[in-house]
Amino acid sequence: MPCDSGIPDYRGPDGLWRRDPETEKLVTYENYMGDPEIRQWAWLMRRDSGARTAGPNAAHRAVAELERSGVPVRGVTQNVDGLHQLAGMPARKVLELHGTARSVVCTRCHARGPMEDALARVEAGEDDPPCLACGGILKSATVMFGERLDPVVLGEAVAVTKACQVFIAVGTSLQVHPAAGLAGVAADHGARLIIVNAEPTPYDDLADEVVRGPIGTALPTLLGRLGAQGRV
């Protein structure tokens, strides 16, 4: 879904990590914590990222509209852009498995704050802005390689997945675990599994339906069809 909002993906055919494998160091905890130059590079990437000005696309709006219609929708996302909430989904109904890039967190005292405030300090000339509370290293409030997912958020995602009637996996390669395994959990517990993705995934054979095509058009069409059929 972020690609349709102008945010490049990571693992796709033209993904960021395929074009420049070195950028993976920016989201690897050990590299980030141990190398000030990596952190400075990361802050510049955050400052210049198109994600700062990206807005929800038709797919995000379709999900939010479905939730507003009274259908019990829950969003479980690997994306860190916050676009579901910007589209109108209540924050309490969005489980961000990999955290959010809209906040920063101190690696020492765990204080949190807006990403935009930290980026304003970068704009003002700070190469590697420290925590204002304790002087610790700040990072994006996202889950980096080498960090574990928040067990509370993951546990809630598993519970929601086990209870759902329809599980739609949208715009994901379904290769990153444990998040990818939710598709199998849904199918094992009797949910109708639908995969919407441009490329094949390891779970396609398990799916009740696979939809190819641009997510910005494919997902609104799918949700409209399922709603008309009373399947969601």
Q: Which of 95, 181, 102, 99 is nearest to 148 (CA)?
A: 99
73 and 93 Cβ atoms separated by less than 8 Å: yes
Q: How many CB atoms lie within 10 A of CB 6?
A: 12
Q: What value, to the nearest 5°, has the Cα angle with vertex 204 and ends 198 and 210?
A: 55
118 and 109 Cβ atoms separated by less than 8 Å: no
Clarify whether 84 is annotated catalytic: no
Instruction: List own/partner pairs for 72-77 with CB under 8 A and 24 or more apart.
Output: 73/232, 74/160, 74/164, 76/157, 76/160, 76/161, 76/179, 76/182
AA identity, residue 216: G
Q: Which of 98, 110, 177, 189 is catalytic?
A: 98
Q: Which residues are catalytic?
A: 98
